[in-house]
Amino acid sequence: MATNWFDRNLKWIYTLPAVLFVLLMMVFPIVYTVRISFFEWSMSATTPPKWVGLANYIALLKDARFWHAVNATFYFTVLALVLETVLGVAIAMLLYREFRGKNIVKTLFLLPMVATPVAMGLVWLLIYEPSIGVANMMLKSLGFKPLLWLASQSQVIPSLVIVDVWEWTPMIALIVMAGLSTLPSDPYEAADVDGATLWQKFTHITLPLLRPTIIVAVMLRLIDVLKTFDIIYSTTQGGPNLASETLNLYGYVLGFQYFKLGMASALLVLFFILVMGLTLALIFVRKRLEASM
Instruction: Give the footprint of another protein on this chain (CB under 8 A).
Output: 25-26, 28-30, 32-33, 42-47, 129-132, 146, 148-153, 156, 223, 227, 229, 236-237, 239-242, 248, 251-253, 255-259, 268, 271-272, 275
Q: How far is the CB of 23 from another protein (least distance, A)?
A: 12
Longest dimension (CA), the chain: 84
Q: How far is the CB of 238 from another protein (least distance, A)?
A: 9
Q: For another protein, which is the closer residue by CB, 144 or 256?
A: 256
Q: How far is the CB of 179 from another protein (least distance, A)?
A: 24
C-alpha span between 113 and 167 (Å, rounded): 5
Q: For another protein, which is the closer residue by CB, 109 or 229?
A: 229
Residues 6+ apart with CB under 8 A from 225: 76, 77, 80, 81, 164, 168
In this structure, are residues 53 and 285 in contact, taking their beta carbons and an 8 Å threshold? no
Helix (H) or strand (E) holding 40: strand 39-40
Q: For another protein, which is the closer residue by CB, 131 or 141?
A: 131
Q: How far is the CB of 61 from another protein (least distance, A)?
A: 19
Q: How far is the CB of 85 from another protein (least distance, A)?
A: 22
C-alpha span between 218 and 225 (Å, rounded): 10
Q: For another protein, which is the closer residue by CB, 22 or 111?
A: 22
Q: Is 146 helix (H, G, I), strand (E, B) or coil?
A: coil
Q: For another protein, which is the closer residue by CB, 13 or 281?
A: 281
CA-nearest of 174, 176, 181, 182 to 106 is 174
